[in-house]
Structure 1
């Protein structure tokens, strides 16, 4: 059974770049494995537990980094080879759509979906946390503060609109 047969059986429109998805998954696993091997060689000791506060901090930071990479206007240069701008949305964000085929389309899917990209941003942040918890917390706090600032901007806008109505 070939990847084309599997893709056709999986998606009748043949739009799902399963080979590209497999390559991205393999790259993710290989990167995680290489990082783990390097951390072991370096003698990195993993924490016995991760405090709930750090989980919340890393979660907020992962949310924000995923949105920055997949939705922010300014990071469009990263997505441009793999996506096409569909429309501008609110709060300086954009809606991009993947383009191309195969691996290019798979990367476009990844770079236009904050839910998809969050696995990658979480992996990077957790790896950073394992190697250098203090600096990861500091960066996480910065991204979490950006998340809070976003919500405060929305709250201000909603309050202003309600006062005008």
Structure 2
């Protein structure tokens, strides 16, 4: 009998014969996401908290901006680089307090898949939004408070950038 790992490796070779694609790492990430979502759903069910028929638009806006900020904070911020360091290598600065990093070559496909996930704010956004949405059900006051801080930070970032652009235009 062929092992699952061997079958996944064969599929990966057939899928991308000229490029390494860590499909088994992606499978692990998808499984972890499924476990996160199932855990949140189970916790919500056990808590007995009612699920809203339709989320309030204010909560959707709050969580959307907070998701944007937290995803970029984890994936790109210089201060969070120690969290990404086991999976990435520093490449170059990427603008205002952000870094470009490359996923480490070698090692396991799982490590590679995690590296791709944690350096991609678009990829992380699904995880962050799921966590914040679950938090809105399980601990709404705390989640709204944390999301408010993240949203205020995101708005501040955009204001800082707008100020810099306006200052450059005024001076030059």
Q: Distance in 1 between matches of 2:153 and 2:76?
A: 14
Residue 139 of structure 1, CA deviation: 1.1
Within 5 A, what are the aligned runs for 1:1-165?
2-99=7-104, 100=106, 101-165=108-172
Q: Distance in 1 between matches of 2:42 and 2:55?
A: 21
Q: Distance in 1 between matches of 2:62 and 2:54?
A: 15
Residues 25, 113 of structure 2: 8 Å contact kept? yes
Residues 71, 93 of structure 1: 8 Å contact kept? yes
Residue 58 of structure 1, CA deviation: 0.3
What secondary structure is seen at the aligned counterpart in 2 of 1:92? coil
Q: Distance in 2 between matches of 1:153 and 1:32?
A: 35
Where does structure 2 lack aligned partners over 5 or more consecutive residues?
A: 1-5
Residues 71, 122 of structure 2: 8 Å contact kept? yes
Residues 21, 103 of structure 1: 8 Å contact kept? yes
Runs (4 or more) in structure 1 with deviation over 3 Å come to: none
CA deviation map 1:81-114 (0-9, x unaligned): 0011111121111001111440000000001110
Where does structure 1 lack aligned partners over 5 or more consecutive residues?
A: none
Q: TM-score, normalised by structure 2?
A: 0.91
Residue 116 of structure 1, CA deviation: 0.5
Residues 43, 138 of structure 2: 8 Å contact kept? no
Q: Distance in 1 between matches of 2:68 and 2:11?
A: 33
Alpha-carbon RMSD: 1.3
The total of aligned residue pairs comes to 165
